[in-house]
Amino acid sequence: METTTIKLGISTCPNDTFAFHGLMTQAVDWRGLNFAIELIDIQQLNDRLFAGDFDVAKASFHAALLLADRTVVLPSGSALGFGVGPMLLSAVPGAVPTNSTQVVLCPGQHTTATLLLKLFYPGTARIEHIVFSDIMPKLERNEAEFGVCIHEGRFTWQNHGLGLVADLGTRWEAETNGPLPLGGIMAQRTLPPETIATVQAVIRDSLDLAVADPSLALPSMRKYAQEFEDDVLMKHVDLYVNAWTRDLGDTGRSALAQLSTRAKSIGLVDDPMPAIEVFDD
């Protein structure tokens, strides 16, 4: 019998390398599938999912909104929660964005970080997109006035002499009374449902393995992280890996519906686009 190869893309951030360590190292059963795995930046993942380069990939939920007619979200592997949002930072502490001549660095056109900036600070600055790991260094060098920080930078921005303008996740929570959906695992609708179900099962197995013994995943996390201290890596996991990572559940689905409604309200998603669908495993 011919083995089905799944082109899988995941990000290099610690919550993904933690959750996917078992899958990447084949410490869990691949259940008859073959995985061809790439680890790249989240905006690269978004772009290549749009291009159809992956069968299954981690992507921003901003991208998922725009791909809802082509992909489904898997119940496992998502990042959402309370206190997990992007941070809008300033090069000069105390500064706030006020006009379109100022520059805000964002980690990618279709990241949830950019979506939140557009929701909460519409038209107040000029957005430039760069790789997330370059944002804080550029702010330190005063090469831009503002930047939206994600991933490990949430725990280290104070060490760089920057100012906090707003915790965009906290604002989302206050306005929606729900967790912030950041990103999840998208599968192409062209895959047979039984194949999607098998991929979902392998991902859940991998996540369960890591949760049972977090130290097993540290080698993969260290290999790809921007920050190398183990305590920072595990803080990242503690924040971004939770019950909704194992299964979105009703709360996760509700948060995705809120994201869709708000994105359509400011014209970021066309009304005819269907709502995000979570695969029923």
Cα 280 from Cα 177, distance rounded (Å): 25
Angle at 196 (CA atoms; ends 72, 15), nearest 5 degrees: 70
Strand partners, 39: 10
Identify whether the C-beta of residue 257 lies closer than 8 Å to the C-beta of residue 91. no
Catalytic residue among 62, 110, 151, 236: 151
Cα 119 from Cα 262, distance rounded (Å): 8
Identify whether the C-beta of residue 98 lies closer than 8 Å to the C-beta of residue 124. yes
Cα 133 from Cα 138, distance rounded (Å): 10
CA dihedral over 274, 127, 44, 215, signed as positive or negative: negative
Residue 50 burial (CB count, 10 A): 14
Is 110 part of the annotated catalytic residue set?
no
- H helix or E strand, kind and range, residue 212: helix 193-212
State the catalytic residues.
151
